[in-house]
Amino acid sequence: MHKITTFVVAESGRGRKGKEASSVPPVKSAPHYFEKSVPTQYLLKQETLKLDDLEVKVSVKSYHPDAILVEGSFDVQTIFAENILDLKDRLIDACYEIVKKNGGKEETAEEYTVYQITGYAGDPEIFLKGKESRMAGLLKSERLPLDEKEVEHTLSYQFKYAKDDLVIVDWDGAFIFDPKGEFEETIELFELANYQLLRYRLLDEDLDEHMKKMSRFTQPEEVTNRFLRLFWVPSKEVTQEFRDVIRIRSQAINQFEALDRDIKLIGDWYSARLYDLLSKKFRLSGWRDAVRDKLESLEDIYTIASENLGMSRIQRLEIIQIWGFFVLQAGWLILIILEFIYFTR
């Protein structure tokens, strides 16, 4: 018997928090503190859907306070049936509908499909012979025949822990081989990696918006009066933008760096090694570097805006002192003229 699990994790503004989802006891070795090292899933509700003659079990969960997770799964006789991609696409559409009903945003979401194979005996590599092309097509949701090199590349991201298990990872999907059908722990790691990818995407988009807002303050036309530019000080809007940047940076450090640190602490355990493989496939380090670069760029833009459109406090005091000197000289001149008129009258 084979099984397909599809999930969609999406941004949600409702911040709903149900009861804490019961954690799956690690089947493979993992330290006791691993469960405390990752974001907690909260179960909102469970339901059953009909997909043709298949019964689909759906779970709606959340990563408090900013994401919703909809997970659907069903059993099939064989994953390699011709209509599997059609069934998978329909299940994804159903998950998106549930996401929208629960306040999720379809435009900012990550979807993933996990193909699970159980009930076999021996090394899973034996099971793969002759099915490589079909497996690569399922992983990529591709209906066209793939080139042999592309098939080889797609199946190259593998992780084997025990003699009779295997995980093959790709961008849109994964294959899990486990003779006992113990998949829950591994699927939760896939959900966690997709959640982190979503958070990086959201943060990246947020920084882009802040950069657009800040960039306009570096344009001279923002302060058209040259005299006023001498005394220009960063407006409340600019100051607030910079405060937002500091807040975002603090959140990034607290959320992303802490998770990476905890994962590294786990070492060579099954969970850490699989998560490391997922991180490489999802290019999470590249997203992290891009976010850091944009945070630094925003700070540079704020500095440029302050220097180009305004002057330092010392410079403004010097200007005020010069204008004060001229006003004083003008006052003395007016006083001399008035005295001259008085004595010559």
According to the model, what pLDDT value does residue 26 have? 56
Domain ranges across the chain: 2-180, 193-311, 313-345
pLDDT mean over 27-50: 72
According to the model, what pLDDT value does residue 257 have? 66
* Tens digits of residue pLDDT in 43-88: 999 999 988 888 999 999 998 778 999 999 999 988 888 889 999 9
- The pairs formed by 305-310 with CB atoms below 8 angstroms and a separation of 24 or more are 305/214, 305/217, 305/218, 305/234, 305/238, 306/234, 306/238, 308/218, 308/220, 309/217, 309/218, 309/220, 309/222, 309/223, 309/229, 309/232, 310/229, 310/231, 310/232, 310/233, 310/234
* Alpha carbons 199 and 171: distance in angstroms, whole number: 16
* Tens digits of residue pLDDT in 122-181: 888 887 888 899 999 999 988 888 999 999 999 999 998 888 899 999 999 999 999 888
Selection from 6-15, 107-116, 308-317 with the highest mean pLDDT: 107-116
The pLDDT-based confidence of 119 (bands split at 50, 70, 90) is confident
**Predicted confidence (pLDDT) at residue 102 exceeds the cutoff of 50:** yes
**Predicted confidence (pLDDT) at residue 231 exceeds the cutoff of 50:** no
According to the model, what pLDDT value does residue 166 have? 93
Whole-prediction pTM: 0.77
* Tens digits of residue pLDDT in 274-289: 888 888 999 888 888 8
| Closest to 309 in 3D by CA, of 209, 241, 207, 238 | 238
Tokens 């002759």 correspond to: 130
Under DSSP, is residue 301 helix (H, G, I), strand (E, B) or coil?
helix
DSSP sequence for 6-46 = EEEEEEESS----EEPPPPPPSS---TTSGGGSPPEEEEEE
According to the model, what pLDDT value does residue 315 have? 59
According to the model, what pLDDT value does residue 48 have? 93
CB 25 within 8 A of CB 91: no
- Of residues 319 and 90, the one with the higher pLDDT is 90
Which amino acid, one-letter code, is at 329?
Q
**Predicted confidence (pLDDT) at residue 229 exceeds the cutoff of 80:** no
Which amino acid, one-letter code, is at 304?
I
According to the model, what pLDDT value does residue 271 have? 81
**Predicted confidence (pLDDT) at residue 37 exceeds the cutoff of 60:** no
pLDDT mean over 26-37: 56
**Contacts for 106 with CB less than 8 Å, ≥ 6 apart:** 10, 96, 99, 100
Lowest mean pLDDT among 159-163, 194-198, 204-208: 204-208
* % of the chain at pLDDT higher than 70: 74
According to the model, what pLDDT value does residue 239 have? 66
Task: Quote the tokens at residue 326.
Answer: 């001229």
- Of residues 292 and 35, the one with the higher pLDDT is 292
pLDDT mean over 77-104: 91
The pLDDT-based confidence of 324 (bands split at 50, 70, 90) is confident
pLDDT mean over 110-133: 88
**Predicted confidence (pLDDT) at residue 14 exceeds the cutoff of 90:** no
* Alpha carbons 113 and 108: distance in angstroms, whole number: 17
